[in-house]
Amino acid sequence: VSRVAGVSVATVSKALNGATGVSDDARSRVLEAAERLDYRPSRSAQALAGRRTHLIGYCLPEPGRWGNPTLDAFLHAMVASSALHNLEVVVFSAHATDGLTPYRDLIRRGAVDGFLLSETDYHDRRIEYLAELGFPFASFGRTDDTDGYSWVDVDGGVGCAAAVEHLASQGHRTLAMLAWPQPSEVGDARVAGFLEAVKRHDLNEPVVVRSPNGIEQGRQAYGRVMSENRDVTAIVAVQDELALGAILEARARNVTVGADLAVVGFDDIPSASIVDPPLTSLRQPFHLIGGILVDMLVDQIAGITAPRGELLAPELVIRDSSRRSRT
Amino acid sequence: VSRVAGVSVATVSKALNGATGVSDDARSRVLEAAERLDYRPSRSAQALAGRRTHLIGYCLPEPGRWGNPTLDAFLHAMVASSALHNLEVVVFSAHATDGLTPYRDLIRRGAVDGFLLSETDYHDRRIEYLAELGFPFASFGRTDDTDGYSWVDVDGGVGCAAAVEHLASQGHRTLAMLAWPQPSEVGDARVAGFLEAVKRHDLNEPVVVRSPNGIEQGRQAYGRVMSENRDVTAIVAVQDELALGAILEARARNVTVGADLAVVGFDDIPSASIVDPPLTSLRQPFHLIGGILVDMLVDQIAGITAPRGELLAPELVIRDSSRRSRT
DNA sequence: CTGAAAGCGCTTACAG
DNA sequence: CTGAAAGCGCTTACAG
């Protein structure tokens, strides 16, 4: 390229990287030559000389017992956003390690510029480790200490409150919640949002039933709700499988879901939209989350901005399972 | 490291890479020093000098309308196998491109040593492009020409035949198949295997009903099967959602699934094991597939072996939906 | 078997 | 604004 443009390789490098201190004339000649030659700089050489790999690491969540319905959307969001910044995503696994080792190795080998974390819980050792090291990262999920690093999280309480609001507007007065067994940080936040909204809207005393995930579990949970209080006409579930179970059990009991019983789930898993009636559910905005995470990470890598946190509301996707009149 | 071991960096490099032409004495001194210093070679420098990035590229499938229940297992399998070969997986997307551009760019930038392909269909342009270029890759799925490159595929026909065999052994004589609308290369191979096995076991004339994917669609398809032939006691579905729909519709009609009606699906999606009764299904051995693909790719990168193809049988996971006596 | 040297293809001070 | 030079941290012929 430098030969074709008639300048030195140093000038080519500066021009291509948009650096300052290059005449417009030289710049345009370089750009033209690069275009004509369809030049692509070598990633390896750039990485070694520039001390930037243009790679970011993402550790896959442990494979779910039931698969991971959200990985697809999340990965696509991160990859698409990364591409905008000329970054690529390298995935790895922490399976059969202490969870920190793969991060440490990638850092020591200079294999990535930063990390994207997910499945972060309140006592996540990775946060502490990376923050202390000062290595760039951004996390989906936060620890109990939300300072000193960049994170994005989804406010389950706000989501469940929105569900209650929606149900109240449909005229429901007696609600139930299918929750997870305690303690569950994520689950308890959702229940808290539910209870707060019930109180705020001055609804009847709600029923809270606790159960692990699962469609069968949801069926049983529905039965327990009804045996506790026959007046319940609307159910909010902490997770979609429980909600699906409730729908199936209600149908088996000849209850018309939608008209006689409203059901709202959480996560908008694939099955949610293909059950009959389709399930109203709280969807985490993965596309947004992926974009924000990558932006945060880019800022951390550039080192120009302080870390920041962002709390998003899930989106209530209203379908027929919570609509009185099925249009 | 070279200073601590008292040898030159050249010797260190050879010792660490297991190259020939190093005395045992020097080798052990280097290894010990490296161990003590917890030395990790720089990936970028290795890549530039060794002309191997130790990175392999995988293009994410287009995000599915209903999510991608198999991506999780497949990615984990590839990542785990790659780790065994000291390789990392970089994921990218071909979204909004002609499908070839991202591959070409990664190659030109020397960003990866090879590619892992999936979602390969009979007229896949990537195969032709990469094979012609002589760039290393291995494909999950094959084109109509299976020569000249390495691939792994799952034989749907054999799987469906195994399902028929299982059903015949349970005493079923009149079967039905829920198939996809024609033409579908993958779907038609499954139907062909089904029909061949029915004939081979000398069973009654089977019913074949065609429908797109979906739980609702499966319910309707079950209805059509029964209206065509009331004697049908066993159903093989080309995909799990159709099978799930059949189960739900049969239950709604008070047919006892398992005892009175056997149902077998394909793919073993997460919902398959949590429906009631749990669905017998043909599972693609992703763990195996990922391992074989990576092994093939490693061979291609090393350039020592000719390309090869491998056809695997799906595994019939027998659950209560096809068992007469539910134990 | 060993090590000095060249080189991988870039970027970045630095001197002109 | 420009280019010669050094250097990123390794690997690989090559001469000893």
Cα B201–Cα B206–Cα B210 angle in degrees, nearest 5: 135
Cβ < 7 Å from nucleic strand C: A 9-10, 12-14, 16-17, 19, 41-42, 44-46, 48-50; B 7-11, 14, 20-23, 25-26, 45, 48-49
Which burial class, exposed, middle or buried, applies to B55 when counting CB atoms under 10 A from its CB (0-12, 13-18, 19+)? buried
Q: How far is CA A94 from the centre of its chain?
A: 19
Given a cut of 80, is residue B286 above it in pLDDT?
Answer: yes
Work out the number of other CB atoms within 10 angstroms of the CB of residue A84.
11
Given a cut of 70, is residue B72 above it in pLDDT?
Answer: yes
Indicate the residue of A83, A91, A214 with minimum beta-carbon distance to B79. Answer: A91
Kindly state the average pLDDT of the residues A215-226: 93
Work out the number of other CB atoms within 10 angstroms of the CB of residue B323.
17
Q: How far is CA A33 from the centre of its chain?
A: 42
pTM score, whole prediction: 0.89
With CB atoms and an 8 Å threshold, state whether B48 touches A53. no
Distance B115 CA to D13 C1' (A): 30
Residue B233 banded pLDDT, cuts 50, 70, 90? very high
- What average pLDDT is seen over chain B? 92
Q: Are strands A150-154 and B234-237 parallel, antiparallel or unpaired?
A: unpaired
Q: Cβ distance A214 to A241 under 8 Å? A: yes
Lowest average pLDDT, out of A2-6, A184-188, A279-283, goes to A2-6
> Could you tell me what percentage of chain A is helix, strand and coil, using 3-state DSSP and rounding each to the nearest 5?
45, 15, 40
The reported pLDDT for the residue numbered B66 is: 59
The reported pLDDT for the residue numbered B65 is: 60
Residue A47 banded pLDDT, cuts 50, 70, 90? very high
Q: Cβ distance A319 to A271 under 8 Å? A: no
Residues in chain A within 8 Å Cβ distance of B109: 40-43
Q: SS3 for B75? A: helix
**Beta-strand (E) ranges in A93-238?**
114-117, 137-140, 150-154, 175-179, 207-210, 234-237
Indicate the residue of B38, B68, B214 with minimum beta-carbon distance to A72. Answer: B68
Smallest CA–CA distance, residue A107 to chain B, in Å, is: 10
Amino acid at A243: A
Torsion of CA B220, B222, B225, B226, to 10 degrees: -110
Max mean pLDDT among A310-319, B17-26, B318-327 falls in A310-319
CA-wise closest residue to A288 among A296, A280, A300: A296
Kindly state the average pLDDT of the residues A166-183: 95
